[in-house]
Amino acid sequence: MSFTVAPPAPDSTPVDTDTAACCAPASREAIGAADAEKLARSLKAVADPARLRLVSLVAAHADEEACVCDLTEPLGLSQPTVSHHLKVLVDAGILTRDKRGTWAYYRLVPGALDSLAGLLAGL
C-alpha cells in the first residue's frame, strides 16, 4: 500500500521584509524610571489584603484618622503585625503617622490614592 503526500499549500500571507513598516512609533510617552519606581513601591504596599483593609478602615474612620489600637480587632491580627503593615503604608507615602503618647494615629496622605490612580491610568 502506498500513500501520496500532497505538497504543502503555498502560504498566501505576504512577508514584509521591511521591519520599519511594521513598527509604529510610540503614540505617547512611556512611564519614566522614577514614576515606575514610585508606582511599584505603592503597588507593592497595597498588594496585600490586610493593607488594603487598613487603608479602607482608616478612610472610613471618624475624621479619616485611626489609632493602631482601633485597627487590630477588625483585622484579627496582632498589634505588631498591624504596626508592620502600617509602617509599609507610611513608607510608601499612602498613610501618615502621628505619635501621641503611647499610641500612633494614622491618616491617609491627601491625594495619595488619587496619585496612584493617576499613575495607573497613565499606563
Q: Which residues contact 108 (CB under 8 A, 6 or more apart)?
A: 55, 58, 59, 64, 94, 95, 96
pLDDT surpassing 60 at residue 17: no
Give per-residue pLDDT as tens, 101-119: 988 999 999 988 887 777 7
Kindly list the domain boundaries of the chain, sorted by start residue.
32-121
Handedness of CA 28, 30, 35, 39 (dihedral sign): positive
| pLDDT tier, 41 (very low <50, low <70, confident <90, very high otherwise) | confident
| Residue showing cell 500571507 | 13
3-state secondary structure of 24: coil
Residue 98 contacts residue 92 (beta carbons within 8 Å): no
The whole-angstrom separation of Cα 89 and Cα 85 is 6
Closest CA to 58 of 102, 90, 32, 26: 90
Is domain 32-121 annotated with CATH 3.40.50.10260? no
| Choice between 26 and 90, residue whose per-residue pLDDT is larger | 90
